């Protein structure tokens, strides 16, 4: 029986969660917020760095911008993926607005958007640029859980 470390999206506390509890809507031990809220986390540079340093679930970040047409087309597809029970407790989906957080985007060499980057243990596993359909996104995500 393993365990995972999750950062609370509400208060930033680090939580230890037994693997078998990941599917049971775990709550933060400090503030009682949902640790896996079923929606992509909204990140800034420091929150992304904290997740990369401490989380043990694979993390998939959508680097996007509000003026980007393909980003707007993919946003509901990405949000819907975060609600899929198949993915719950297996990976975490997050978004980072490259317009508002240019330093974080530059750190990861984002040159086109939308760009998805999958991380595990703080290391980049894979990268995908361009908007994906629901089926394409599901297929791409399946390699990380």
Mark whether 11 is an active-site residue.
Answer: no
Give dist(CA 6, CA 62) in Å, integer: 19
34 within 8 A of 25, measured Cβ to Cβ: yes
Best CA proximity match to 40, nearest among 5, 91, 86, 102? 91
Give the contacts of 102 (CB within 8 A, at least 6 positions apart): none
Give dist(CA 106, CA 140) in Å, integer: 24
Mark whether 31 is an active-site residue.
Answer: no
Which residues participate in catalysis according to the annotation? 68, 71
């Amino acid at each position: 029986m393993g365990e995972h470390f999750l950062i609370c999206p509400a208060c930033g506390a680090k939580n230890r969660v037994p693997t078998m509890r990941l599917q049971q809507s775990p709550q933060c031990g400090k503030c009682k917020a949902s640790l896996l809220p079923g929606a992509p986390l909204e990140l800034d540079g420091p929150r992304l760095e904290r997740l990369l340093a401490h989380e043990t679930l694979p993390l998939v970040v959508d680097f996007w911008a509000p003026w980007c047409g393909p980003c707007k087309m993919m946003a509901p597809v990405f949000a819907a993926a975060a609600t899929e029970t198949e993915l719950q407790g297996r990976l975490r989906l997050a978004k980072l607005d490259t317009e508002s957080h240019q330093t974080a985007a530059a750190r990861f060499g984002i040159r086109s958007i939308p760009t998805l980057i999958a991380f595990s243990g703080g290391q980049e596993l894979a990268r995908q640029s361009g908007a994906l359909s629901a089926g394409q996104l599901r297929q791409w995500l399946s390699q990380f859980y």
